[in-house]
Structure 1
Amino acid sequence: MTGALAPTKPLTALDRCDRCGAQAYIRAILPVGGELLFCAHHGRQHVAALRAKGAEIQDESARLHETSPSASGKR
């Protein structure tokens, strides 16, 4: 992030992909204002073009690979 924009809040399970409605993990903040939300799949398809047009990208798709203690079944 360049620091020109206010910090963005983390994406939650309530944030949905603008293309398919799945949980959003990528936010594109457009230089003209507004934002687009994408699941990891659609984000990969569109992020390069959006970045080339000056969009700031918040990519939280690494969270898909995180495991929690409860997810592994061990305590």
Structure 2
Amino acid sequence: MLIEMIIPTFKCKEDQKIFLSRLSALPNFVNVKSDGFKYCVTLTGAKTERVANGLQEICNMWGTSFVTVSE
């Protein structure tokens, strides 16, 4: 599954580090890449309620959003 997220504005490097660690803690996490404007998060397996809830929590904390590009 490929998820795209608009990169939020981080308060500091530590804030960005925490954000990325939260993403990497998602179930079935494979990797995250940045193109400067968005993060592309790759997860294995089908989208589950647990993954969707985790992504939404992260987005809410950093004032961003996500879309599922492919499953």
**TM norm structure 1:** 0.33
The structure, 1 or 2, with the larger RCO (C-alpha pairs under 8 Å, 6+ apart) is 2
- Greater helix proportion: 2
Please tell me whether Structure 1 or Structure 2 has the larger radius of gyration of its CA atoms. Answer: 1
- Greater strand proportion: 2
